[in-house]
Structure 1
Amino acid sequence: MDHKHLNYFLALAKTLHFSRASELCHISAPTLSRNIKQLEDEVGVMLFLRDNRSVKLTREGVAFIDYATSTLANWQHFKTHLTEPQQHIYGNVSIYCSVTASYSFLHHILEQLRAHHPHIEITLNTGDPALAINRVLDGHEAMAIAARPTKLPAQIAFVKIGHTPLVFIAPKIPCPITEKLASTAKQIDWSALEFIVPEQGFSRQRLEQWWRKNNVHGKIYAQVAGHEAIVSMVSLGLGIAMIPKIVLDNSPLQDKVQVLSTDTAAPSGIDIGLAVLHKELNDPAISALWNIAQNMGEKVL
């Protein structure tokens, strides 16, 4: 059985989208479709149900995932053992994370990776941390550094690598926000302040929960993708915000904002970890990063 066909099958099984899978495989969608048909002819059953609008795995297709994954993993192990007596691990792993995570958590992981597995290559994409888990679920990247959601999807394996509190920040420059804070120095009137909030994600959920718990009628000045941009907007006097402390600690603008203390209990912090699909852990390169993350120990920031 052609290993190329197995790789194509796994890409389509992961994305359930011919165009996206063909991009991952660096071939055209018609070529991918033709190869999948050849594989189905060889296996003797349909692995996918497809029409003009959707692609779904058949029962046989679901079962075939384990076969394809283990076959490719065994083949990779055999090649490595045959050509490299020291059993170096080769491969490319795509990772998604926020800008802040790229030079904090990811930096420590890649230090260990370079020391122990120098032949593994990394493709890094950065963006809004609220998208991290979905980027892995949708097959855009193999792994992501992400906040652990309240309910972790069943397909996702998650190893905790750190924890960060959530803090409220406000501008330092003279502006309507600092004037309001000065006038209510003894007890902050949170409902009178404008908030810069994330467009989506775990931090947004935690803020809204805190509003409800403390009967705060939060006024939203702007909704922003990415915590780093939120710090910038707060420093300009446009509002206050709730952000992970790790973002503030790594921001070049941290001396332009002030941390606000709350009379009520602060929102609970965020567990941060490495997320990957369970079925991807058979890949030797992905497994190597996973093991590094497991052995890192928790980092509290």
Structure 2
Amino acid sequence: MTIDEIKVMIELSKTLHFGKTSRATHMSAPSVTRLVQRLEDELGCRLFDRDNRRVQLTEAGKVFQQYVEQQLRAWSELQVAISGVKGTVSGLVRIYCSVTASHSILTDILRPIKDRYPEIRVALSTGPSEETFQKISDDEVDIGICAYPKAVPSSIKIRKIKEVGLSVIVPKGASLDDIRSNALPFIYPKSALTRSYISDWFHQQGIAVKVYTELADVDGTMSLVSLGYGASVIPSLSCASHHLRDQVEVLPMTPELPSLKVGICCKKKVTYPSYVKVIMDAFPST
């Protein structure tokens, strides 16, 4: 098996879904099927029980899953060892963050890394910020970028990148009084952490908002607010650089909403691959 084939089989053993594996690995579904059939023929046993409704690992498949995961770890360790001999830092680092972070924070992190360590390659995946720690714990990614939660798991190492302010945005001509009177409903972010900050702030100000909907992405929120559907709160960095910035109002707030503390994180280990270590070391412990 090639390393790419090993990665495909690991993905399939986790998702138990040929379509999802195809999309995640950029290999066509028929090619994934042919790979499984070839390996099953070579091993003389079934690795997956599959029908029209579900896919399951067989007992042999579970043994195979452990084997390919060990092989991928060994390959990563070999890359690190060779990097040490060559005196360079190289390898593939898997990074996870929200779409918002990929737009507003990621480039500032990776630009100096790319300049200094051009042989480090990056595999980027995006999704809800709340899934960051779980993906790190499950070894799906090496590094995550997310807002600090109220409690950081003991298995996670996190270092501060920056603090990001929150902006209250409303349609042109609207005001805080429109939110207070419920003339303007509120579009809540789906992020539980951001939502809790906003709810606490409104409670302290004695404001009971009328909820219009919940949205996970900044683009959708900016669109609805610019069209007059409601008010919302988004990270100030995202608002300032958004193409719809001139079509919404940013309300000055007293007191200001609390800032989000954004960090870079990884799993706590005794030793780290060099390509993870140099990225984490770019941010001092606090």
Task: Go from structure 1 to structure 2 and tell me whether the alpha carbon gap of 1:20 and 1:169 turns closer, same or farther (over 3 Å shift).
Answer: same
Residue 254 of structure 2 aligns to which amino acid in structure 1? S
Aligned mates of 1:296, 1:34 — CA distance in 2 = 45
Q: When the two structures are superposed, what TM-score results if normalisation uses the length of structure 2? A: 0.66
User: How far off its partner does 1:110 sit?
Assistant: 0.9
Match for residue 159 of structure 1? 158
Task: Go from structure 1 to structure 2 and tell me whether the alpha carbon gap of 1:12 and 1:24 turns closer, same or farther (over 3 Å shift).
Answer: same
1:293 to 275, 280, 286: 280
Match for residue 9 of structure 1? 9
1:260 to 237, 241, 253: 253
User: How far off its partner does 1:48 sit?
Assistant: 3.9
Q: When the two structures are superposed, what TM-score results if normalisation uses the length of structure 1? A: 0.63
Deviations 1:254-274 (A, max 9, x none): 894123225xxx776544344
Alignment of 1:45-60 (within 5 A): 47-57=47-57
Aligned mates of 1:108, 1:130 — CA distance in 2 = 18
Task: Go from structure 1 to structure 2 and tell me whether the alpha carbon gap of 1:45 and 1:198 turns closer, same or farther (over 3 Å shift).
Answer: same
Does the CA contact (< 8 Å) of 2:169 and 2:225 recur in 1? yes
Alignment of 1:141-180 (within 5 A): 145-148=145-148, 159-162=158-161, 164=163, 167=166, 169-171=168-170, 173-175=172-174, 177=175, 180=177
| 1:243 counterpart = 2:234 | yes
Task: Go from structure 1 to structure 2 and tell me whether the alpha carbon gap of 1:54 and 1:290 turns closer, same or farther (over 3 Å shift).
Answer: farther
| 1:272 counterpart = 2:262 | yes
Residue 21 of structure 1 aligns to which amino acid in structure 2? T
User: How far off its partner does 1:298 sit?
Assistant: 7.1
The number of residues matched between the two structures is 279
User: How far off its partner does 1:118 sit?
Assistant: 0.8
Does the CA contact (< 8 Å) of 1:73 and 1:283 recur in 2? no
Three-state SS of the structure 1 residue aligned to 2:86 is: coil
Residue 204 of structure 1 aligns to which amino acid in structure 2? R
Match for residue 185 of structure 1? none
Does the CA contact (< 8 Å) of 1:113 and 1:289 recur in 2? no
User: How far off its partner does 1:288 sit?
Assistant: 1.7
Three-state SS of the structure 2 residue aligned to 1:217 is: coil
Match for residue 188 of structure 2? 197
Deviations 1:63-122 (A, max 9, x none): 65453233234345547839x8345524475655324x2354312321232133312344
Three-state SS of the structure 2 residue aligned to 1:260 is: coil
Match for residue 82 of structure 2? 81
Q: Which runs of 5+ in 1 are unaligned?
A: 182-187
Aligned mates of 2:73, 2:35 — CA distance in 1 = 21
Does the CA contact (< 8 Å) of 1:159 and 1:294 recur in 2? no
Match for residue 35 of structure 2? 35
RMSD over equivalenced CA pairs, Å: 4.9
Does the CA contact (< 8 Å) of 1:48 and 1:58 recur in 2? yes
Deviations 1:120-140 (A, max 9, x none): 3445566x7558649959999
Aligned mates of 1:147, 1:62 — CA distance in 2 = 35
Does the CA contact (< 8 Å) of 2:97 and 2:144 recur in 1? yes
User: How far off its partner does 1:170 sit?
Assistant: 4.5
